[in-house]
Structure 1
Amino acid sequence: MPAYPNDSSAEIAASLGTLEAGTAVSGVAKALLEIFTRGDIEPGTRLPPERQLASTLGVGRSAVREALAALEILGIVHVRPGSGTYLRGSASELLPQTLSWGLMLDEPKTRELIDVRGALEIYAARLAATRMSDEELASLGARVEEMRASVDTLERFVEADLQFHLELARSTDNSVLLDLLQSIRSLLRVWVDRAVQEPAEALAAIEEHAAVHAAIATRDPDAAASAMALHMNTAARRLAGALE
């Protein structure tokens, strides 16, 4: 889990204005999303406390609490008990979230997104085989070990999985591919978080990631693409199970 050193509560609070009566939870979520997706707030920034947000927006604390809970489910913020609520991703990750609620209710589109993600991940693995540095390869292997160490803590396991794919995409030196994968991952975030629920599923996913890492280490694009294709096939089945 990444560290969250930034604290721009005053900046965020100053960006908010009082909401119109009756907007409640959806209004709070929309107001926060508008600030987050502008790109001015860095990932890891701590949000103002619930009491301050409620006062600034002119709503009850329960509305703020429910809105933050919804944003956490979608992967936009991360709540650390006893510490506060933090912005989780970058602007490129968060922009698609304004569409997430409606999209995730549409099962056919979600399944189509899963297909597109698989194709892009396979292409990313092919590029990474020849473009990933030795340092990046070592870091990718460390993510696999983090997954092994987190089998009994699914939240940490999912985070290590996310970072594995993010680091792989970054190593392609293709910003368009990276943004596309981040966007799709954001839209699928709820289902990705639910896809692995049993230790046996986690262990299978670990071996798939280890195989991808090993294939990339051979610097063979075909081998890397093949290993990722196998992973995406079983990952798609797990996601489909979460949808059902």
Structure 2
Amino acid sequence: MINDLNCEVKEMDIRPIKSKRTTEIILDQIKELIVKGELSQGDKLLTENELSERFQVSRTSVREALAALSLTGILEIRQGGGIYVKANASNAIIEPLTFILLLEKNKLQNILEVRKALEVEAAGLAALRRNEEELATLGDLIEQMENDLPDAQNSEALDLKFHLTLAKASENPLLDRMMNTVQEIMGQTLQVTRALWMSATTEGTSYRLFEDHRNIYEMIRDQDADMARRLTYEHLRKVELELGKYREEEE
């Protein structure tokens, strides 16, 4: 719980609302203030009455918006104690990306594109910023991947751990959180694409996947950011192309 003793009410740049979708607009404005950093963890908001006056809407609309933000973990509403921005509010804002991806018609293709956007840069930053502990973790994962050959029964879990470790090693908290937020969907993507790939190719596929990861690891170890990005992109591009071939055969 956030201590509300001697806590000043946080001033906010609130714009009056003139729309039937008042609850949604209140939600958007408050989330925007958090994203911009104008509201931070522990900040106390105005009261329902004050927000209603600032937004120029009914208290009911304000109450509905605050309740929704509370349910998603962005705000904490204390009975008689005020309204506060909760810890990890940024995670609660990012998390809906998972649901957006789940609802997409071309889910696998879209997720692969998201993976490229996130993981290519994560690899480059990891090469520049990784510490010895993170490098050791990556090396251990490469060793586990090699020991898992030729059947590669644990390849999905090891693959996911490898890329999440790269995100952590990037030393970019937002990138790390985004990668972890979509990790479940990423896991589903890996499971499906690997199943398709393995069923359509030879025993050598598992070795090629291992070599891709080993080469990326070596670039991280050598702190070659450009090659780390390039190899990660090429690795994910291979998965994308194989999935495209499978779709063409199915059609």
1:221 is the counterpart of 2:239: no
Deviation at 1:241, TM superposition (A): 5.3
SS of 2:170's partner is: coil
Q: Give 5+ residue unaligned stretches, structure 1.
A: 1-36, 39-89
Check conservation: 1:195, 1:241, Cα contact below 8 A: no
SS of 1:173's partner is: coil
AA at the equivalent of 1:158: E
Aligned partner of 2:131 in structure 1 is 133
Rounded Cα–Cα distance in structure 2 between residues aligned with 1:117 and 1:169: 11
Could you say which structure has the larger radius of gyration?
A: 2
Going from structure 1 to structure 2, the CA distance change for 1:162 and 1:91 (only over 3 Å counts) comes to farther
Post-superposition CA distance 1:99-151 (Å, at most 9, x none): 56533xx11x5423312311221111110111101221121011112122223
Rounded Cα–Cα distance in structure 2 between residues aligned with 1:204 and 1:185: 23
State which of 223, 235, 242 in structure 1 corresponds to 2:239.
235
Q: Where in structure 2 are the equivalents of 1:42-81 lying within 5 Å? A: none
Post-superposition CA distance 1:14-66 (Å, at most 9, x none): xxxxxxxxxxxxxxxxxxxxxxx87xxxxxxxxxxxxxxxxxxxxxxxxxxxx
Aligned partner of 1:157 in structure 2 is 155
Going from structure 1 to structure 2, the CA distance change for 1:178 and 1:239 (only over 3 Å counts) comes to farther
Aligned partner of 1:167 in structure 2 is 165
Post-superposition CA distance 1:206-229 (Å, at most 9, x none): 100000000111112112112212
Deviation at 1:236, TM superposition (A): 2.2
TM-score (norm 2): 0.53
Check conservation: 1:128, 1:172, Cα contact below 8 A: yes
SS of 2:157's partner is: helix
Further displaced range: 187-196 or 117-126: 187-196
Aligned partner of 1:114 in structure 2 is 112
Going from structure 1 to structure 2, the CA distance change for 1:160 and 1:242 (only over 3 Å counts) comes to farther
Further displaced range: 94-103 or 134-143: 94-103
TM-score (norm 1): 0.54
AA at the equivalent of 1:211: N
Rounded Cα–Cα distance in structure 2 between residues aligned with 1:118 and 1:229: 6
Going from structure 1 to structure 2, the CA distance change for 1:178 and 1:137 (only over 3 Å counts) comes to same
Rounded Cα–Cα distance in structure 2 between residues aligned with 1:188 and 1:166: 10
Rounded Cα–Cα distance in structure 2 between residues aligned with 1:201 and 1:172: 28
AA at the equivalent of 1:200: G
AA at the equivalent of 1:196: R
Post-superposition CA distance 1:178-213 (Å, at most 9, x none): 122233443343231122232432211110000000
Check conservation: 2:134, 2:165, Cα contact below 8 A: yes
Rounded Cα–Cα distance in structure 2 between residues aligned with 1:101 and 1:212: 29
State which of 209, 215, 237 in structure 1 corresponds to 2:213.
209
* Number of aligned residues: 155
AA at the equivalent of 1:233: R
